[in-house]
Structures are given as C-alpha cells and as structure tokens.
C-alpha cells in the first residue's frame, strides 16, 4: 500500500491505525449488545424455508451478514466478530490514507510529499471519527464491518480509472456490493464509483467513450456477483425469491411507514442526540465546511469532487431515511466524511498567492484536531461511566433468568432486547427478537397473543418496554393474558418486569445488578 522510506507522514498513518485499534478496547469490556446477540441467535438457528430466509427468527438483513456472523462464531465463538471488526477498523484507516493519496494525486496533481501529508491527516480524521465511543466503539455491527469495504471500493475505483483496468473496475464493483450485503444502506462505494466514472466520461467529452463503457461494464459485472450468488443460494436453499426480496428490501418501506405513523418523543430525542453527537465529534463541522467550499472544489477538481459529494449526499439521505436515529448510523458516514476532508486538505498550495486556500486547509486540520480531542475525551468518559454507574443490566437480567430456569424453559422478551434472550440461554418461541419487526409484522400482536394462550406459551416473559408503548399494538389483550396465566416474579435491575407461568412452586430469581462491571469479558459467567 505504501512504498519507499517511512517518512513522518507515513509513520503517522500507521500510528493512527494502531490508535484506532487501541480505541476499540471497549469492545473487550462489554457483553454482546442487542444487535450482536440477535444476529448470533439468528445465525445459530438458521433454517431457511420457502416463507422465511432464516427460519426460527426474523431479521431484515441480507444473508451475507448472517453468514459472516455464523462463520466467525464457528471459528472463534460469540466475540470473534468483534475481533474481525477491529481488524477491519485497522484496515479502514490504512485504506483511507491510500485512497487519499490516490485522490490527491489524481484530482489535484500534488507532489508525493504533499499527498503523503494529505494522507496522514485523512488517516487521523478517519481514526478519530471511527473511535468516538458515542458513535459506538463497542459493538461489531454491519456498519463497522462494511465501511472498510466501502473505502476499499473507492480506492479500487480510482485505480481502475487511472490505469483503465477492467479487472480493477470489476473488483471495485464487487467490493462495493459486498458492503451492501453487510448493511443495506452502505451504498456509498457504489455511488462513488458510478459518479466518478460518469464524471470522468463527461470530462473527456466522449474521446474515450469505449474505455469508459468497458470500465462501467466491468464494475457492473463485479457488483452483480454477490447479488447473483445470493439468488442462487436462495434457490438452492428453497427460499422463495419474493420472501428474500421482502426480507432484504421490501420490509424497510413497511417499517418506515410504521415509524412515520406514530412519531414518538423517543425518536425526536434520539434525533437531537445524534445531531449533538455529530456536532461534538466534528462531523457536522467537516460536512458544513465541505459544503461551503463545494463550488470552488467543483471548479478545481470536478470529477473527484462530484464523486465525493454524491457519496456524502447519499450517505446523509440514508441516515435520515432510516427514521430510527440510532447513533451507530453515524459510523456509516466515516468514509465519505474522510474523503471530503481529503479534498479540503488538497486546496492549499504553497506557491499560491491566494490566502484563502491556505486558510481552508488550516481550518480543516483544526477540525480534525477537534475530532481527535473529542474522541479521546469520549473514551475517558466511557471508561468512567462504566466503572461508576453504567452496567450491562440486560446481560444481568438474562443471566438471572437463565440461572432460575429449568430444562426446556423458554423466554419471550417484549420490546426488542435480544441480548437478554442470548444471556438467558433460553430459546424464544416468538420469531421477533426486535421491536420494529414485531410492530411491522405483528402490529396487533395477534401472533403473540395466540402464543401466550396456546400450548407453546413461553415459560418466562420479560417486559423490556411497557406494554402500551406503541399504540398500534394490541397490548390490552396481552396484559389480560399476563394477568390470567402468568405471575409477576420481580423487576430486575430496577427496569425489567419478569413474569413466569403459574406453577405450584414460586420461582426463585437472583441477579447481580448491584455488582460493578469492570472485569471485561472475564466477568461473563457460564
């Protein structure tokens, strides 16, 4: 990726990559989060059927990410996915520097020394953004696993254009689509490559039309490979293609309608918290600074700027369209914000007499420093609050239920906390481990009510969320069934109401909610 002697700038890139790995230490200090636990449960019980991609449980994710979870679990257990995510973050920082060098050279024609400095600052910016604990430095989610692929596809697209290589174009399309297989919203690599090639073709005014068509065909062929492979798998596994389409694509529109139909204070609060976090972390300032200088950047570097601007715009639209406003979604912005930062850094030219060009790069570096400081502080704050106040109450709750349970017991968690389900070690007879699929596919809770009144009724029932949180749910009848067939056992960790099927013996349940969590994964009990 880098050749020649190790200059201070290139050394900075490696230091930034190592720092990003060190900043992932929270992932070694916390049990599985809800999405990780849910993906693991889906992967371990994966039994495809004509009307279900995954069988036992429903999740609106492509088969690629569940297959990856299953593979890492088989190779190294539940936490191996976090190791893979950490390796990916290390690679992301190196790839961001390599892409920045190529982008600065291609777009601005900078000297090798200048491109090295731009690459170093871009790497530092990438490491700072991806290490912010507010964005989530604990979980290994689709965003963390996919953004190295997004950045890698950008590097490949630039290399393919510079070398007019169909093979590199094919690789760029393939890698970009693999990122989408890990999280559907990670389309930035596809957008970057498409706009880069299209803008380059327009800039050439048709003089190399055949060359650009060959590159486009190669990229399209590469992007088609994961799609065709998934379809072939579905046919072989006996999954109806309509079911596959709805699970991966169609569900999102229905879920968005559910979210839009019932605005909640929680969504508004999360949206404000996300904006505040993005501002504190430097993302808002970097994006605004890039947009402010978009006209001169387009004049000086039209092809590269168009590609980066389109990529950033699509990433922002995907974040807004998600509707849920989870903070982890900010991770998906890292590649596009890093490349926007790279372009801003290329504005400065030592020989130029225009003072604003130097000012633009100086302010950009100051914003990068702000991101570094914010991420460093966030790591300190995370360590402090986990030692003093914050505890994995979801894990403690599931653990307590698992210890009190008998062989054959089952558990349903109302409100969407797969980490409680995983920690208990009990299976769920209800297919919805998350709240949004439950609200979308079982809006009146008809399936849940039939389960509670039937012979497969769960032994344990946990209210993670109070029953009447969502008005579209038939919670009144669910409450009646709980009163009739279940007995209240305890409120664990002061948050989760636990019920048990009425029996002659009252279940005894004890939790360690009062214990601090400081031993990392060593604190997990068998």
Do 454 and 517 reside in the same domain of the chain? Answer: yes
- Residue that finishes a domain, picked among 351, 372, 388: 388
Do 295 and 316 reside in the same domain of the chain? Answer: yes
Torsion of CA 428, 429, 430, 431, to 10 degrees: 80
Spatial neighbors of 519 by CB under 8 A, at least 6 apart, are: none
Q: Write down the pLDDT at residue 182.
A: 96
Phi and psi (nearest 5°) for 251? -55, -35
Q: Name which of 235, 19, 253, 255 is nearest 125 in CA terms.
A: 19
Q: How far apart are CA 302 and CA 309, in angstroms?
A: 10
Q: Name which of 381, 480, 311 is nearest 23 in CA terms.
A: 381
Do 401 and 384 reside in the same domain of the chain? Answer: no
- Residue that finishes a domain, picked among 363, 388, 413: 388
What distances in angstroms separate CA 153 from CA 175, 317, 318, 335, one per listed residue?
Answer: 6, 20, 19, 11
Do 120 and 224 reside in the same domain of the chain? Answer: yes
Mean pLDDT of all residues in 451-471: 87
- Write out pLDDT tens, residues 469-488: 776 566 778 888 888 899 99
Structural domain for 512, as ranges: 393-523
CB 120 within 8 A of CB 9: yes
Whether the pLDDT of residue 199 is over 60: the answer is: yes
Element (H, E) at 498: strand 496-501
Do 417 and 316 reside in the same domain of the chain? Answer: no
Q: Write down the pLDDT at residue 29.
A: 84
Higher confidence at residue 108 or residue 65? 65
Residue 2 lies in a domain: no
Judge residue 145's burial from the number of C-beta atoms within 10 Å of its C-beta, 0-12 exposed, 13-18 middle, 19 or more buried. Answer: buried
Task: Dihedral sign for Cα 226, 231, 232, 237, please.
Answer: positive
Whether the pLDDT of residue 75 is over 80: the answer is: yes
Judge residue 338's burial from the number of C-beta atoms within 10 Å of its C-beta, 0-12 exposed, 13-18 middle, 19 or more buried. Answer: buried
Do 66 and 185 reside in the same domain of the chain? Answer: yes
Residue 67 lies in a domain: yes
Residue 482 lies in a domain: yes
Residue 3 lies in a domain: no
Torsion of CA 497, 502, 508, 510, to 10 degrees: -20
Q: Which residue has the tokens 């510079």?
A: 162
Q: How far apart are CA 108 and CA 351, in angstroms?
A: 14
Q: Name which of 357, 346, 355, 286 is nearest 315 in CA terms.
A: 286
Do 315 and 459 reside in the same domain of the chain? Answer: no
Q: Are strands 486-492 and 460-463 parallel, antiparallel or unpaired?
A: unpaired
CB 222 within 8 A of CB 34: no
pTM of the shown model: 0.93
- Residue that finishes a domain, picked among 332, 357, 388: 388
- Write out pLDDT tens, residues 285-296: 999 999 999 999
Do 242 and 100 reside in the same domain of the chain? Answer: yes
- Write out pLDDT tens, residues 374-427: 999 999 888 877 755 678 889 999 999 999 999 999 999 998 899 999 999 999
- What is the number of structural domains in the chain? 2
Q: Write down the pLDDT at residue 317.
A: 94
Length of the chain: 526
Residue 80 lies in a domain: yes
Mean pLDDT over the full length of the chain: 90
Q: Write down the pLDDT at residue 177.
A: 98
Long-range CB pairs of 206-209, under 8 A, 24+ apart, other chains included? 208/164
What distances in angstroms separate CA 157 from CA 161, 199, 372, 526, one per listed residue?
Answer: 6, 13, 29, 47
Helix (H, G, I), strand (E, B) or coil at 138: coil
Element (H, E) at 483: helix 475-485
Residue 260 lies in a domain: no
* Longest distance between any two alpha carbons in the chain, whole Å: 88
Do 366 and 499 reside in the same domain of the chain? Answer: no
Residue 257 lies in a domain: no
3 — pLDDT class (breaks 50, 70, 90): low
What distances in angstroms separate CA 415 from CA 57, 63, 437, 463, 496, one per listed residue?
Answer: 15, 24, 10, 7, 11
Residue 259 lies in a domain: no
Do 495 and 356 reside in the same domain of the chain? Answer: no
Whether the pLDDT of residue 352 is over 50: the answer is: no
């Amino acid at each position: 990726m880098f050749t020649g002697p190790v200059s201070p700038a290139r050394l900075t890139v490696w230091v930034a990559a190592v720092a990003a790995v060190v900043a992932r230490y929270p992932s070694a200090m916390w049990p599985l989060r809800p999405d990780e636990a849910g993906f693991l449960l889906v992967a371990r019980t994966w039994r495809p059927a004509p009307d279900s991609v995954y069988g036992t449980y429903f999740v609106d994710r492509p088969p690629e990410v569940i297959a990856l979870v299953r593979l890492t679990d088989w190779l190294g257990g539940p936490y191996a996915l976090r190791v893979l995510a950490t390796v990916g973050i290390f690679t992301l920082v190196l790839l961001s520097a390599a892409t920045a060098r190529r982008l600065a050279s291609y777009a601005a024609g900078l000297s090798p020394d200048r491109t090295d400095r731009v690459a170093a600052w871009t790497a530092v910016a990438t490491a700072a953004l991806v290490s912010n604990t507010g964005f989530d430095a604990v979980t290994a989610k689709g965003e963390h696993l996919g953004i190295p692929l997004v950045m890698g596809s950008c590097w490949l697209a630039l290399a393919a254009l510079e070398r007019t290589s169909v093979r590199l174009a094919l690789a760029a399309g393939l890698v970009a689509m693999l990122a989408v297989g890990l999280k559907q919203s990670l389309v930035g690599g596809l957008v970057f490559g498409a706009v880069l090639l299209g803008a380059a073709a327009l800039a050439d005014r048709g003089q190399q039309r055949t060359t650009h068509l060959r590159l486009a065909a190669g990229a399209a062929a590469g992007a088609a490979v994961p799609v065709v492979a998934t379809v072939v798998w579905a046919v072989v596994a006996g999954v109806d293609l309509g079911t596959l389409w709805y699970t991966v694509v169609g569900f999102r529109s229905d879920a968005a309608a559910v979210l839009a139909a019932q605005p909640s204070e929680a969504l508004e609060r999360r949206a404000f918290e996300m904006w505040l976090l993005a501002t504190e972390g430097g993302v808002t300032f970097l994006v605004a600074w890039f947009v402010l200088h978009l006209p001169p950047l387009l004049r000086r570097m039209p092809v590269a700027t168009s590609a980066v601007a389109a990529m950033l715009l699509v990433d922002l639209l995907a974040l807004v369209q998600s509707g849920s406003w989870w903070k982890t979604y900010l991770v998906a912005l890292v590649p596009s914000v890093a490349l926007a930062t790279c372009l801003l850094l290329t504005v400065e030219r030592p020989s130029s007499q225009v003072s604003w060009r130097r000012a633009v790069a100086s302010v950009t570096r100051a914003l990068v420093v702000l991101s570094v400081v914010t991420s460093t502080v966030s790591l300190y704050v995370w360590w402090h609050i986990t030692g003093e106040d914050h505890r994995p109450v979801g894990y403690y709750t599931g653990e307590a239920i698992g210890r009190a349970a008998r062989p054959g017991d089952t558990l349903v968690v109302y409100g969407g906390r797969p980490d409680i389900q995983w920690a208990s070690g009990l299976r769920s007879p209800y297919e919805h481990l998350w709240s949004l699929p439950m609200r979308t596919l079982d809006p009146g809770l008809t399936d849940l009510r039939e389960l509670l009144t039937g012979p497969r009724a769960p032994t344990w029932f946990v209210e993670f969320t109070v029953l009447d949180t969502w008005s579209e749910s038939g919670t009144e009848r669910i409450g009646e069934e709980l009163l009739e067939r279940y007995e209240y056992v305890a409120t664990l960790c002061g948050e989760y109401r636990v019920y048990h099927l009425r029996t002659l013996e009252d279940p005894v349940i004890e939790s360690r909610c009062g214990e601090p969590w400081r031993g990392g994964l060593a604190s997990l009990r068998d």
